[in-house]
Amino acid sequence: MYASTVRGLLVRGMLAGLIAGLFAFAVAYVVGEPPVNGSIAVEEAQAAQDAAGAHAGHGAEAAPEEEEEELVSRPVQSTAGLATGVLVYGVALGGIASLAFSFALGRVGRFGPRATAALTAGAAFATVYLVPFLKYPATPPAVGNPDTIGQRTTLFFLMILLSVLLGVGAVIAGRRLAPRLGNWNATLAAGGGFLVATGLAFAFLPDNDDAVKPGFPAALLWEFRVASLAVQVVLWVVFAIVFGVLAQRLLAPRAAETDEARAGAQPRTAALG
């Protein structure tokens, strides 16, 4: 694939990621913000209860603690801050996914640009988010132990790295098994190997037992995790649709030109023969 084509796909991937980010932001604001606000309310109620207990324990003459001033207000966090984070995330992942699409096109089967875009987006969603999410689900802010946030972050990114590497390994194994087993059987074998390897990773990696404080409402935690999953699903589905259309428009004329050039070369070759 020509460098100009890859560059064009990169630009279109970032544009598709931006559009997908807009949809994901809408879902995050409508569906995700209510459980976030609920978790903050739970945290504030717990902090007030702890402060009241400490005040009672030290007597009536204890001086009240001064509240820390927020650097960024909650309304800004839930609007401009959320939009900036989601859009930057969408653009970055869109660019990376477009490069993966450039590599996968024509190498994972006889799929057109739209089908390849859908497969690329699905694989990215599964390896980058879904598999790590199943091991280390998302948690609302300020509900975990702050002393272990570094460890929990490291484990989460380690799970992402393992998932991506296992996914790449499954694709390579499927391609090598295809000549002997056929495409369908090779795909099943590679997929089964990916599931087994992922299960082993789940078993040996430590759990985040203190990711959620005891007593945190289970229903609120469930709502937050479902909302997080919904944001990612919308992001990748919209990206697959938009990028598939953009890639098709970019690559179809060039494919037609290549076919015409090949067709024109055949009569000349026959005449020389």
pLDDT of residue 66 exceeding 60: no
**Residue at 57 is within a domain:** no
Q: How many CB atoms lie within 10 A of CB 174?
A: 22
Query: Which pLDDT belongs to residue 5?
Result: 84
Q: Is the same domain home to 35 and 115?
A: yes
Rounded average pLDDT over 77-106: 88
In this structure, is residue 107 part of a structural domain? yes
The gap between the terminal CA atoms of the chain, to the nearest Å, is 31
* Residue 132 is assigned to a structural domain of this protein: yes
* Sequential DSSP letters for 104-145: HTTTSSS--HHHHHHHHHHHHIIIIIIHHHHHS----TT-S-
94, 220: one domain: yes
Q: What is the predicted pLDDT for the residue at 126?
A: 93
List pLDDT tens digits, range 230-273: 999 999 999 999 999 999 998 876 555 554 555 555 555 445 45
Q: Are residues 192 and 93 in the same domain?
A: no
Task: Specify whether 137 is located in the same domain as 240.
Answer: yes
Domain span including residue 165: 147-211
Q: Taking residues 116-126, what's their average pLDDT?
A: 92
pLDDT, the chain, mean: 81
Tokens of 76: 């800004």
Q: Is 35 exposed, middle or buried (0-12, 13-18, 19+ CB in 10 A)?
A: buried
CA-CA-CA-CA dihedral for 132, 81, 71, 45, to nearest 10:
-60
Q: What is the pTM of this model?
A: 0.81
Residues 6+ apart with CB under 8 A from 21: 86, 87, 88, 89, 90, 91, 94, 235
User: In sequence order, which residues have a C-beta less than 8 Å from that of residue 180 and are 6 or more positions away?
Assistant: 186
Number of domains in the chain: 2
Q: Hey, what's the torsion of the CAs at 171, 176, 181, 184, to 10 degrees? A: 20
Token code pair at residue 52: 């009241």
Minimum mean pLDDT among 47-51, 86-90, 165-169, 190-194: which range?
A: 47-51
Same domain for 250 and 231? yes
In a domain, 186, yes or no: yes
Q: Examine residue 222 and state whether it is found in any structural domain, yes or no.
A: yes
182 vs 62, more confident = 182
Tokens 């709502």 sit on residue: 223
State the residue for tokens 């207000």.
73
Per-residue pLDDT at 270? 46
10 domain residue, yes or no: yes
> Residues 164-176: pLDDT tens digits?
999 999 888 888 8
pLDDT digits (tens, 9 = 90+) for 191-219: 999 999 999 999 998 887 677 777 778 88
CB 225 within 8 A of CB 15: no
Check residue 213 and report its DSSP letter. Answer: -
Could you give the CA distance from residue 262 to residue 260 in angstroms, rounded to a whole number? 5
Same domain, 133 and 222: yes
Same domain, 86 and 217: yes
- Is the same domain home to 7 and 139? yes
